[in-house]
């Protein structure tokens, strides 16, 4: 049975970055649209600069969170590089070997029972024969003149049974030890397979977390870059024509907004349309 590992929760920096991205994106659009009415630019620019600072802070936090998550993911990946299915196959083989050795040990135990019974019978016959054949009348009645051959034969049988019993006892111990080793091996392999499965599941979950963190980082970087470029362009225009100057214009911001629109079409069509509309109103200033 495979280990189930729940995917870890995303780092809190991801939620912080998402909030910062939404604010920065709103500030970007608001600043672009405010450029058409210069009186509203100061307020939009102040919000854009505040949103930019928040986005830049969120970027640093998100980068740190991503770096902190990469090392454990790499370590888990190297721990889980074994083949779980192969380990489980070896577990099955070890269990089969242990079962086969257990059956052999059971047969040896059965043979021991039979040999003990036969050894007991032989020893009983030896005692009985020795007592009966010690009598001359019994030997005469049985037509036996010497009891040595019969007792010798029974002794040989008894000794053979004893030797066989000891041999079977040794075999049983070896079989039991071998079966125990196989069971221990199966248990170790089973534990290792579970560890590998858990490591792989954790590595996959960490990879998914890293992917989500990287996606959030990439999206925030796009918005932060665009907002920073537009804020810098507006501030450049502000230095050249301070607030309240007659025929206040934003030529640098208009050019920068045009570049931003070109990049943003592949990112967010709705936002791109609003930025493009704002840019059309500023084309004459570029």
| 128-174 confidence digits (pLDDT tens) | 666 555 555 555 555 555 555 666 676 666 677 677 767 777 777 77
Answer with the residue of higher pLDDT: 24 or 88.
Answer: 24
Contacts of 179 (CB under 8 A, 6+ apart): 97, 98, 101, 102, 105
- What is the rounded CA–CA span in Å between residue 234 and residue 227? 11
- Averaged over 55-80, what is the pLDDT? 70
- This prediction has a pTM of 0.55
d(CA 50, CA 242) in angstroms, rounded, equals 21
Measure CA 162 to chain center.
57
114 vs 109: CA distance, rounded Å: 9
Least confident of 4-18, 231-245, 263-277: 4-18
| Distance, CA of 138 to CA of 9 (rounded, Å) | 97
Quick one: pLDDT at residue 132?
Answer: 55
- Write down the pLDDT at residue 150: 62
Q: Extract the tokens encoding 65.
A: 């969170």
Higher pLDDT, 82 or 251: 251
Phi (first) and psi of residue 267, to 5 degrees: -95, -55
CA distance 261 to 244: 27
Chain centroid offset of residue 269 CA: 38
**CA–CA dist 34, 174 (Å, integer):** 90
Give the CB-side neighbour count of residue 191, counting CA atoms within 13 A: 5
Q: Tell whether the model's pLDDT for residue 81 goes beyond 60.
A: no
């Amino acid at each position: 049975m495979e280990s189930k590992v729940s995917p870890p929760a995303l780092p809190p920096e991801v939620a912080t970055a998402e909030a910062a991205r939404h604010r920065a994106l709103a500030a970007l659009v608001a600043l672009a649209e405010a450029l058409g009415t210069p009186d509203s630019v100061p307020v939009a620019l102040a919000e854009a600069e505040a949103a930019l600072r928040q986005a830049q802070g969120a970027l640093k936090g998100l980068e740190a969170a991503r770096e902190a998550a990469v090392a454990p993911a790499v370590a888990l990946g190297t721990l889980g590089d074994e083949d779980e299915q192969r380990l489980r196959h070896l577990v099955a083989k070890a269990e089969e070997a242990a079962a086969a050795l257990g059956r052999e040990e059971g047969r040896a135990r059965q043979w021991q029972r039979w040999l003990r019974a036969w050894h007991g019978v032989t020893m009983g016959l030896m005692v009985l024969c020795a007592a009966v054949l010690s009598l001359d009348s019994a030997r005469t009645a049985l037509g036996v003149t010497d009891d040595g051959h019969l007792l010798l034969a029974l002794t040989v049988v008894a000794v053979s049974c004893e030797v066989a019993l000891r041999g079977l006892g040794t075999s049983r111990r070896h079989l039991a030890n071998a079966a125990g080793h196989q069971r221990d091996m199966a248990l170790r392999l089973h534990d290792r397979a579970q560890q590998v499965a858990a490591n792989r599941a954790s590595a996959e979950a960490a990879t998914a977390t890293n992917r989500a963190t990287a996606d959030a980082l990439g999206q925030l970087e796009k918005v932060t870059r665009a907002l920073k470029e537009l804020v810098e362009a507006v501030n450049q225009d502000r230095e050249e024509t301070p607030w309240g100057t007659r025929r206040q214009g934003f030529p640098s911001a208009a050019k920068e907004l045009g570049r931003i629109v070109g990049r943003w079409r592949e990112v967010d069509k709705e936002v791109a349309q609003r930025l493009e509309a704002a840019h059309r109103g500023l084309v004459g200033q570029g």
